[in-house]
Structure 1
Amino acid sequence: MRVYVVMLLQFIIWSGYTLIEWLSKHDQLVYKVIMFFVFFYLAYLIGNGITKSSRKTLFLTALSLVIYTSIHYTLELYTH
């Protein structure tokens, strides 16, 4: 059950990142990269607080990022 909660919370975090990135579309690339690492660290901290395992948290964070990115780009492909 903890894995499910972590994945849901991280999907919410990645959705927030997508919204913030959309709002800052005129920013330079370096600021977007820094913002990505801030959101990645936030997702990692929340996941680590719930699972209490660094290895599992890193895997879940990477997995949620890959799943969210694939869903995001697939939907973008079909809507354009």
Structure 2
Amino acid sequence: MRDKKILKSYEETQEKMVSSSVLSNEANKSFFNISEACQLMGISRTTLWRLIKNEHIKVTKIGSRIIITKENINALFK
């Protein structure tokens, strides 16, 4: 039982390490979709939609896709 828990914890740690390296690769992109922007900023989707609604972050809509540029994300922190 204990060994299974240790193994599960190890696997979860490995997954987090892989996802953090994916996140660092995403940081080099020029534009992001909603989920990528949430991961990049470390906020929930609800918080991001609130920022969009209150016009703190500008978005571009292409068809049904919402795109957020890196410049618009950086402008939020200025």
Return the TM-score normalized by structure 2: 0.37
Larger Rg: 2
Name the one with the larger strand percent. Answer: 2
Relative contact order: is structure 1 or structure 2 higher (C-alpha 8 Å, sep ≥ 6)? 1
Return the TM-score normalized by structure 1: 0.36
Name the one with the larger helix percent. Answer: 1
